[in-house]
Amino acid sequence: MANAALEHGAVEHGLPGVYEAPLFGAYSKKVGMWLFLASDSLTFGALLFAFSYNRISTAGWPTPFGKDSIANATIMTACLLSSSLTMVLAVFASQRRDRAWTRNWLLATMVFGTAFIVLHGMEWSKLIGEGLTLPGFPKPAGQAGEFAAVSAAVPQFPATFFGLTAMHMLHVTIGVIYLGVVAFRKWFLPVLGVIWIVGYFLIPSDNVFHYGIHALGLGLLVSAVILFLKPKDYDAHDVEVAGLYWHFVDLVWMFIFPLVYLMSTRI
Amino acid sequence: MHDAAADEFTGHDSKKQYFWVWGWLLVLTAVEVVLAYRQVFQPVRMLEVLLILSIVKSALIIGYFMHLKFETALMRWMLVLSVTACFIIMYFFFFPDAGRILRLGVH
């Protein structure tokens, strides 16, 4: 590895044959991603601390997650763990220069990630329908559900729950778009555009995701700028760096799942 | 352009070990769900147990899936120590205060 890294990250000093080894023995893209992930872990750390702080300091903390919610969250966890495995297989395929299987494994990872987002969206919609909501959310039709009183009495719960899980869901969404760009490059843009537009018209206006789906529009814009300003054929290093990001969103969920869901189980 | 990443991965690991890691992660998740659902421990002890299991799972993900186990010692220690130190500092700032608010009954 050291030789490979030298070849990639060495700095020429103007003298023939004189090079300086990179500090971390890895290529710069990978070090950059690790530094970003270290800083992003503090963002999630702060949100998890906010959730835990409020949980400890607030009497009457609700336990809204029944059997269905726990089963749903367990399937979501399995989806993310399996997506990490398919991501590793994509990295292996990219190193063999097997473009077809790199694309296939990346697509499998995206499918697991999308399944996670859909399941999470359904969980959110169910909780919002039962009255667990924030002031900025659209009001669901019908009578107030069983959690309407919870939202009024312990607003810290919906605030920290939705804040933390929304940030994670946004990261998973960005991850799926990132993998789509690496796997399919410009061909991914029209697919993303169609999902954005169709999703906007299919999701009812009283559902929070009617507005949340505009994150895809923003992702489309950023992806298009990147792909048109710096078009390139993504290699094994790009796949590995994308994999680091993807494993990170899996890693964060390993803390959200027990702290938020399992510690608020309603038996 | 050569295969630096290929050298890194294929030099010391096989696909098989990643399937094992994935299997262990699923097993640990199942253990967490069973412990929580059967309410095996009191809440504080349950939190400790779940956090330990989460740290084990995250170590597997960081070490194997994110490949940090196979990076240079400097990179490993710099990343792990810096992030851990930040979390420890946050812990000592926030948690004693959360307990104090609960004891004072200020809501």
Angle at alpha carbon of residue B45, lines to B42 and B50, rounded to 5°: 115
Helix, strand or coil, per DSSP, at residue A23: coil
Q: Tell me the shortest Cα–Cα distance from B66 to chain A, in angstroms.
A: 6
Which residues lie below 8 Å from residue A231, measured CB to CB, with a gap of 6+? A185, A186
Give me chain B's average pLDDT, please. Answer: 83
For tokens 């000093």, the residue is A13
Q: How many domains does chain A have?
A: 1
CB B18 within 8 A of CB A81: no
Which residues pair with residue A11 across a beta bridge?
A20
Residue closest to A9 by CA, chosen among A18, A19, A37: A19
For tokens 């220690």, the residue is B77
CB A243 within 8 A of CB A251: no
B41-65 pLDDT, tens per residue?
887 788 889 999 999 999 999 999 9
Domain assignment present for A157:
yes
What's the rounded Cα separation, in Å, for the pair A16 and B90? 49
What's the rounded Cα separation, in Å, for the pair A76 and B26? 12
CB A106 within 8 A of CB A88: no
Domain assignment present for A189:
yes
A 67-86 near B (Cβ less than 8 A):
70, 74, 77-78, 81-82, 84-85
% chain A with pLDDT above 70: 90
What's the rounded Cα separation, in Å, for the pair A87 and A93? 10
Do the chains contact at A81 and B29, CB–CB below 8 Å?
yes
Model pLDDT, residue B4 = 47
Assess B22–A contact: CB distance below 8 Å, yes or no.
Answer: yes
Mean pLDDT across A102-123? 96
pLDDT band at A187 (very low <50, low <70, confident <90, very high): very high
A 207-226 near B (Cβ less than 8 A):
none
CB A125 within 8 A of CB B43: no
pLDDT band at B5 (very low <50, low <70, confident <90, very high): very low
Using the predicted structure, report yes or no on whether residue A46 has a pLDDT greater than 50: yes
Domain assignment present for A13:
no
Sheet strands (E) in chain A: 11-12, 19-20
What are the tokens at B38? 């059967």
Q: Which domain holds residue A255?
A: 28-264
A231-258 pLDDT, tens per residue?
888 889 999 999 999 999 999 999 999 9
What's the rounded Cα separation, in Å, for the pair A209 and A228? 29
What's the rounded Cα separation, in Å, for the pair A138 and A146? 17
Q: With the C-alpha atoms ordered B26, B31, B34, B37, is the resulting torsion angle positive or negative?
A: negative
Name the residue facing B75 among A24, A56, A239 (closest C-beta).
A24
Do the chains contact at A52 and B98, CB–CB below 8 Å?
yes
Secondary-structure percent of chain B, ordered helix, strand, coil, rounded to 5: 80, 0, 20
pLDDT band at A1 (very low <50, low <70, confident <90, very high): very low
What's the rounded Cα separation, in Å, for the pair B21 and A3? 28
Single pTM value for the model:
0.88
Q: What is the CATH number of the domain that holds A239?
A: 1.20.120.80
CB B10 within 8 A of CB B67: no
B 66-105 near A (Cβ less than 8 A):
66-67, 70-72, 74-75, 78-79, 82-83, 86-87, 90-91, 94-95, 97-99, 101-102, 105
Using the predicted structure, report yes or no on whether residue B40 has a pLDDT greater than 90: no
Question: What are the backbone dihedrals phi and psi of residue A65, each rounded to the nearest 5 degrees, phi first?
Answer: -95, 100
